[in-house]
């Protein structure tokens, strides 16, 4: 009996693991990259992902078959591929993103047109071919060529939900310039103020493609459909060499600082977990609204009703769903424009709620919960309800504001009674009848 129980438990465990396992397609310039970047790929597999490797020239490349996607995410480590074989092309990758799936893209100084087209659709502009990010004041000592293209960067986004890494990283590759008006883009790693993007073999005669803090090394896109795209200007950033190399950083004041290991491995692991939605994922459930003295959710409310709105919000921590805690979750009660915008209070167990009075304006309203925060998937819940006026038998019998009018009416009635009494019964007012 115990043996049967253990077998059932193991089967359940395997079922849960297989349900959480995500399938990924890895497209490479050369399968040798699988060996030079083995630590990164092994990190992904340890995070519960199943990877399938193909060269960009393989005619069997396909993302979908018969309208169904074969993979949950895509990794493009093929910056030199002039075209993808099989059914994989730029449009297929963009449709993959539009359908809410995740992509990790790595480039270098010779990035090809297909990769450029994909990132341009995401709002990212790579530097011209042959250009590198150069920094003559923040470079690694192992850059023996003296062109200072192997730079050390430590300006990493300060968002713990995306990454907790703060150690300097090694970077050699092309720069990125992000669309200024695109609020969906997140600059993950910026270059220092002394960096610029140019060809190391040419004298600087024209304006660089980017310079200073405008130069972005790694960026991310959190789309409105919750798809995530991670874009790195350096394929070497994910390499085993950069994962294990020490860092000796030279600074503008001539001093140097040594780190035993670059922060590439920790940062790459955090970014991959975020990009593949293993962190920073929110979900809402048990949305309910009702009058304070009732428990049944209504579709029609009356003006001036007091109602309660509540919803459960949970966060995925990589293993299980845990209660989400924040003080900036807001509810809007909207008819064309928001009549109310109120903060939802949470009980520390993931339950967010508020109580308020329906405005004294009838019409069609929407309960709108639109929560968008950097690093988190968005929550968008909309529920339509009708707000009606009072029925004729629901008004108060006596309204306080009308008391003066009541008093005037009764005073007139009393005055008419007094006048009639005196008119009828006052002896002097009676006219004498003619003889």
Q: What is d(CA 153, CA 169) in angstroms, rounded to the nearest whole number?
A: 5
Residue 252: per-residue pLDDT: 60
pLDDT of residue 432: 53
pLDDT at 12: 44
Residue found by looking up tokens 């341009």 in the block: 120
Distance CA 143, CA 150 (A): 6
In the chain the domains, ranked by start, together with CATH numbers, are 14-275 (3.40.50.880), 281-435 (2.60.40.1930)
Contact 300, 385 (CB under 8 A): yes
Sign (positive/negative) of CA torsion 74, 313, 222, 263? negative
pLDDT tens for each residue of the chain, 435 residues long: 454 444 444 444 433 334 457 999 999 999 999 999 999 999 999 988 999 999 999 999 999 999 899 999 999 999 999 999 999 999 999 999 999 999 999 999 999 999 999 999 999 999 999 999 999 888 887 766 678 899 999 999 988 899 988 889 999 999 999 999 899 999 999 999 999 999 998 888 889 999 999 999 999 999 999 999 999 999 999 999 999 999 887 666 666 778 888 999 999 999 999 999 999 999 999 999 999 989 899 899 999 999 999 999 999 988 899 999 999 999 999 998 889 999 999 998 999 999 999 999 999 999 999 999 999 999 999 999 999 999 988 887 778 888 898 899 999 999 999 999 888 887 665 555 555
Find, among 317, 250, 249, the residue nearest to 279 by Cα. 317
Rounded to two decimals, the pTM is 0.84
The pLDDT assigned to 20 comes to 57
Residue 393: its pLDDT value, please? 84
List the structure tokens of 410.
């009764």
pLDDT at res. 258 = 80
Distance CA 105, CA 115 (A): 8
The per-residue pLDDT for 6 is 46
User: Is 354 strand, coil or helix?
Assistant: strand
* C-alpha–C-alpha distance, residues 25 and 61, integer Å: 9
- Residue 258, burial from CB neighbour count under 10 angstroms (0-12, 13-18, 19+): exposed
pLDDT at 336: 86
| Cross-strand pairs, 285 | 312
* Calpha distance 212→391 (Å, rounded): 67
Q: 261 near 245, Cβ under 8 Å? A: yes
Contact 181, 187 (CB under 8 A): no
**What are the start-end ranges of the E strands in 46-191?**
49-55, 64-65, 68-69, 73-77, 102-106, 124-126, 132-134, 151-153, 155-156, 169-171, 176-178, 185-190
Distances (CA, A) of 383 to 289, 362, 380: 10, 16, 10
Q: Kindly tell me the number of DSSP H helices and DSSP E strands found in the chain.
A: 8, 28
- From the list 242, 39, 231, 214, the residue with the least C-alpha distance to 150 is 242
What is the pLDDT, as a whole number, of residue 13? 40
User: What's residue 401's pLDDT?
Assistant: 83
pLDDT at residue number 201: 86
According to the model, what pLDDT value does residue 357 have? 95
- How far apart, in whole angstroms, are the C-alpha atoms of residue 50 and residue 54? 14
């Amino acid at each position: 009996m115990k043996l049967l129980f253990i077998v059932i438990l193991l089967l359940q465990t395997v079922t849960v693991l297989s349900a959480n396992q995500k399938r990924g397609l890895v497209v490479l310039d050369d399968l040798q990259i699988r060996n030079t970047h083995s630590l990164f790929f092994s990190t992904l597999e340890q995070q519960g992902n199943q990877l399938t490797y193909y060269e960009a020239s393989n005619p069997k490349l396909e993302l979908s078959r018969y309208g169904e996607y074969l993979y949950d995410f895509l990794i493009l480590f093929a910056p030199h591929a002039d075209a993808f074989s099989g059914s994989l092309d730029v449009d297929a990758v963009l449709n993959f993103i539009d359908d809410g799936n995740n992509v990790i893209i790595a480039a270098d100084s010779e990035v090809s047109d297909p990769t450029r087209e994909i990132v341009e659709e995401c709002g990212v502009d790579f530097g011209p071919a042959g250009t590198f990010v150069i920094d003559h004041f923040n470079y690694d000592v192992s850059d023996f060529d003296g062109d200072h293209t192997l730079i050390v960067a430590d300006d990493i986004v300060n968002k713990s939900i995306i990454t907790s890494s703060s150690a300097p990283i090694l970077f050699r590759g092309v720069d990125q310039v992000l669309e200024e008006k695109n609020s969906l883009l997140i600059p993950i790693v910026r270059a220092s103020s002394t960096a610029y993007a140019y060809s190391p073999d040419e004298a600087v005669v024209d304006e660089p493609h980017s310079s200073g803090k405008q130069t972005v090394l790694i960026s991310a896109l959190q789309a409105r459909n919750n798809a995530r795209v991670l874009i790195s200007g350096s394929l070497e950033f994910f390499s085993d060499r950069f994962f294990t190399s020490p860092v000796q950083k030279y600074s503008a004041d001539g001093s140097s600082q040594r780190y035993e290991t670059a922060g590439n491995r920790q940062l790459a692991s955090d970014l991959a977990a975020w990009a593949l939605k293993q962190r920073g994922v929110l979900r809402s459930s048990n949305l309910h609204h009702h009058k304070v003295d009732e428990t049944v959710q209504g579709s029609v409310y009356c003006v001036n009703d007091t109602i309660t709105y509540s919803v459960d919000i949970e966060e995925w921590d990589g293993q299980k769903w845990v209660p989400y805690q924040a003080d900036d979750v807001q509810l809007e009660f909207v008819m064309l424009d928001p009549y109310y915008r109120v903060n939802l209070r949470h009980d520390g167990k993931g339950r967010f709620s508020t109580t308020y009075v329906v405005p004294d304006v009838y019409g069609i309203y929407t309960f709108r919960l639109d929560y968008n925060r950097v690093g988190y998937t968005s929550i968008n819940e909309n529920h339509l309800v009708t707000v009606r006026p009072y029925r004729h038998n629901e008004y108060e019998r006596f309204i306080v504001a009308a008391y003066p009018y009541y008093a005037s009416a009764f005073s007139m009635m009393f005055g008419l009674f007094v006048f009639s009494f005196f008119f009828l019964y006052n002896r002097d007012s009676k006219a004498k009848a003619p003889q």
